[in-house]
Structure formats: C-alpha cells, structure tokens
C-alpha cells in the first residue's frame, strides 16, 4: 500500500510539473506575441479616394486601387490568358512589373514586349507562387484567375495588397474582364475596341452557322493527343470548355458535348471509334511532337484508317503562333487568339460559307490592331505559325 501511495504521489508530482511546464511555455509565447504586437502592429494605410480607381471583378467584388498603377503582377495557375489579353493595352509594357518565365520564352510576346526578360521573376510561373515573393515586389495590384482566391488572393489581401480576379474562359467572361483590364491599364477606349472586335468576329461566325441543322453539322472531335510521361493518351475537352463551344459556334457538332465529365477527359480509342468523327482537330501542348507530327502519325496509323475523318483526310493540326508550342500559343486555348481559332475552325468545317475570308489577312489584322504590331512584325508572327493555317 505505501508503494502504491508513493507511486500515486510521484505521478501527481509529475502531473504538476508537466502542467506547470506547459503553462510556462504558453505564457512565454503569449507574452512574446503581445509585446511584439504592441510594438510592431502594422498601421492602417490611408486611402485617397480621389486618386484611386474602382473596379468590379469576376467575383463581383468592388476593389479600389490607388493611382498611379505602375506595378501590375500577373501570376498563379493559368495566368497566360490574362497576360495575353493584358498585352493588348499599350501601357501594359510599362505597367506589367513581373510575370512568370514561361510567357517570356514565347516569340510572340517577345516581339510585343522587347523588355519582357527583365520582368521575369522566378517562381511566378508556378500554380501557387510564394506569397512573400510577390509581396517583396510591392505591387500596386495583382491579377489572378478567380479560383486562386483562397490559396493566393486572400493571403495577399491580408497584407494589404490589392487583388483583382478575372475568369477569361468564354466570350461573356472575356467581354466582362476586358473592361476590368481596361481600367487597370488606364485605357478604357482600347478595352472598348478589343471587346467590339471579339463581339463582331464572334457574331460574324455565328450569324452564318446559327441556322445549320444538327444533321448538317459534321461530328467534330477536338483531340488533345498527349505524349507526356512516355505514354500516349487521347484527351477530349469537357462539355463546358471553350473548345467545345468553339466547335459549336463554328457550325460543327462537338462530340465532347456528350461527355458529362469536366476538364480534359481521357478517352479510349474504342470510344473514338464508336463516335467515328467526321473531322478531327489535333492539339498538343507538350512541344515535341507538334500537332502536325501527330496528324501525320494518325494518317499513317492503320488502326485509325477506318475512322471517317481519316478516310476522308479531314484531320487538321490546330494553328499555334508561339515557337515553344505550349498551351498559350495554341489557338484553341483560352488565350487571346481563340477568336482566330473560331474563324479557323469554322473555315475548316464549312469552307463554302467562309470562302471570302482570308485567314492570314484576318490574323495579320488581329496582331496589328489588337497588339499594335507593325506590318512586318505581324507577318513575322504569321510566318512562325505552325499547324494547318491554310
């Protein structure tokens, strides 16, 4: 019995000692935090309403940004459509302060902004870049895709950095977000011009294809032939992706409409054989092989010969205007040139309806008007285009 009592006493002592230790540590931490808080709590920065602009962004938030806006950072997952649109504003060359490595390696954007190399900051091309890395540059505003809110936008705002969200996923969000960028880059007239261009070209195509009955629409497959990781996979966009609606507007029947899944859906050859598409548009974003290489590979493959599109030779490589062949150059991606991509798609599906359109001229006009390139520069870009432009 005495042994048991001693044991209980010892345990009690241990309990008291450990609890004391825990309390002391907690009190120390609390004291340290409170002292530092009193000394170093950041002061509220004053707002000067008269020297600020107000934008309503894609998440319907009203954001007030102090003028002048000289340091714009565009980063986070899928930042390239934002960059591709931002560079349409002549002031972007001076106001875009930093961006990721990937965009700076593309020939098109090197022509548009010869100083682009000096704007590259390591890490900004990551899906979730480091918050402090962005803060260290003290930006006036950071532009992000709307789904970056909880992972990047909220922490940035918690340290007082202004964040504006955009979507840029289809015509409607383009028209809305162009206006927001117009305010940030201080050029609402240019925003109007860009929005009108997209609206007019979209309307031009859809006015000719709108009345085409379903039975007259060829079955079109947009095939993302992926060779990453040494394995080949066939990927098809989901029903709600830009590519699906592009084919529909261009007067085709997008087979991807039948997919309930979202994002890129991996499908088997059997599914493609079952669909038996009348036309196949090939895209690939991994550089090598190019969409044209893949097109020839499919044409030479005996397995694919029985597919309608191949039997009739209606396989086309999607145009791409950046030499590194990443997604931001492909005309099917939500980067700025998807509007040229719709024209190209429509001309391939219904050549007779668009026989009066010269796509190379359209593209030249696009680069000159939208990106303010001179004729030689625009021609240089067009000469770089890979895929079946003609």
Partner 1 sequence: MRYNVRFSVLAVAVSILFMISLLIGRYSLWSHDLLYDELGKNIVWNIRLPRTLTAVLLGMALSVSGAALQSAFRNPLVGPGVIGVNQGAAFGAAFAILFLSNYPLTIEISSTLFGLLALFMAYAMSSAIKYGRRVLRLVLAGLAVSALFSGGVGVMKCLADPLKQLPELTFWLLGGLSGVVWRDFLYVLPLSLGGIIVLLIARWRVNLLTLEDDVVLSLGTDPGKLRALVVIAAVVATSVVTSVAGVIGWVGLIVPHIARKIFGTDSSRVILASALLGAALMITFDSIARTASAGEIPLGIVTSLLGAPLFIFLLSRKEMGTSG
Applying CB under 8 A, the span of 22-30, 175-183, 218-226, 275-283 interacting with partner 1 comes to 22-30
Kindly list the strands in the beta sheet with 72-74, ordered across the sheet, starting from the edge strand earlier in the chain: 96-98, 72-74, 141-145, 163-166
DSSP run (H or E) holding 178: helix 171-184
Measured between alpha carbons, how far is 65 from 53 in angstroms, rounded to an integer? 5
Q: How far apart are CB 233 and partner 1 at their closest, in Å?
A: 16
Among 345, 346, 343, 347, which residue's Cα sits nearest to residue 363? Answer: 343
Residue 145 binds partner 1, judged by CB under 8 A: yes
Q: Do the beta carbons of residue 75 and residue 124 sit within 8 Å?
A: yes
Any idea of the CA torsion for 302, 303, 304, 306, to the nearest 10 degrees? 90
31 binds partner 1 (CB under 8 A): no
Q: Please state whether the peptide bond connecting residue 99 to the residue before it is cis, i.e. omega within 30 degrees of 0.
A: no
Under 8 Å between Cβ of 105 and 287: no
Window contacting partner 1 (CB under 8 A); options: 32-40, 222-230, 288-296, 364-372: 32-40
212 touches partner 1 (CB under 8 A): no
* Binder among 57, 113, 140, 169 for partner 1 (CB under 8 A): 169
The token pair that represents 63 in the structure block: 């954001």
Which range binds partner 1 by CB under 8 A, 27-35, 228-236, 280-288, 308-316?
Answer: 27-35
52 - beta bridge partners?
Answer: 66
Please state the closest distance from residue 32 (CB atom) to partner 1, in A: 7
Query: Which residue in the set 53, 91, 111, 133 belongs to the binding site for partner 1 (CB under 8 A)?
Result: 133
Q: Which one, 38 or 189, has the nearer CB to partner 1?
A: 38
Cis peptide before 289 (omega within 30 of 0): yes
State yes or no: residue 118 binds partner 1 (CB under 8 A).
Answer: no
Decide if residue 306 touches partner 1 (CB under 8 A). Answer: no
Is the Cβ of residue 140 or residue 321 nearer to partner 1 in the bound state?
140
Plot region of 233 (φ>0 → left; ψ -120 to 50 → alpha; else → beta): beta
Position 30 contacts partner 1 (CB under 8 A): no
Provide the minimum distance between the beta carbon of 194 and partner 1 in the complex, in angstroms, as a whole number: 21
Q: How far is the CB of 358 from partner 1 (least distance, A)?
A: 33
Q: Which residues bind partner 1 (CB under 8 A)?
A: 11, 14-15, 17-18, 21-22, 25, 28-29, 32-33, 37, 39-43, 45, 77-78, 121-133, 135-136, 138, 145-148, 150-152, 154-155, 158-160, 167, 169, 238, 240-241, 260-263
């Amino acid at each position: 019995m005495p042994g048991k009592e001693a044991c209980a006493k010892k345990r009690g002592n241990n309990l008291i000692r450990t609890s004391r230790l825990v309390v002391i540590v907690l009190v120390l931490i609390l004291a340290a935090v409170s002292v530092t808080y009193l000394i170093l709590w950041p002061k509220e920065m004053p707002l000067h309403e008269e020297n600020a602009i107000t934008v309503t962004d894609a998440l319907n938030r009203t954001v007030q940004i102090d003028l002048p806006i000289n340091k714009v950072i565009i980063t986070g997952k899928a930042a390239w459509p934002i960059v591709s649109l931002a560079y349409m504003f002549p002031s972007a060359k001076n106001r875009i302060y930093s961006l990721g490595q990937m965009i700076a390696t593309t020939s098109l954007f090197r022509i548009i902004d010869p100083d682009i190399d000096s704007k590259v900051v390591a890490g900004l091309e990551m899906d979730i870049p480091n918050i402090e890395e962005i803060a260290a540059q003290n930006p006036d505003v950071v532009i992000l895709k709307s789904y970056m809110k909880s992972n990047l936008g909220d922490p940035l705002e918690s340290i007082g950095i202004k964040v504006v969200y955009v979507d840029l996923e289809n015509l409607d969000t383009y028209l809305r977000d162009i206006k927001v960028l117009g305010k940030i880059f201080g050029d609402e007239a240019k925003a109007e011009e860009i929005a009108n261009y997209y609206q007019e070209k979209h309307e031009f195509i859809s006015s000719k294809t709108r009345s085409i009955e379903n039975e007259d629409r060829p079955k079109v497959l947009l095939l993302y032939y992926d060779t990453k990781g040494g394995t080949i996979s066939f990927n098809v966009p989901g029903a709600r992706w830009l590519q699906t609606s592009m084919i529909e507007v261009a007067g085709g029947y997008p087979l991807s409409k039948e997919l309930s899944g979202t994002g890129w859906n991996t499908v088997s050859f059997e599914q493609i054989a079952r669909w038996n598409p009348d036309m196949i548009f090939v895209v690939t974003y991994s550089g090598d092989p190019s969409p044209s290489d893949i097109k020839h590979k499919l044409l030479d493959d005996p397995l694919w010969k029985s597919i309608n599109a191949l039997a009739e030779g209606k396989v086309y490589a999607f145009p791409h205007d950046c030499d590194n062949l990443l997604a931001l150059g492909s005309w099917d991606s939500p980067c700025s040139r998807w509007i040229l991509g719709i024209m190209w798609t429509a001309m391939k599906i219904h050549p007779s309806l668009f026989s009066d359109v010269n796509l190379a001229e359209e593209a030249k006009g696009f680069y000159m008007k939208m990106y303010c390139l001179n004729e030689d520069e625009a021609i240089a870009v067009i000469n770089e285009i890979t895929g079946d432009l003609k």
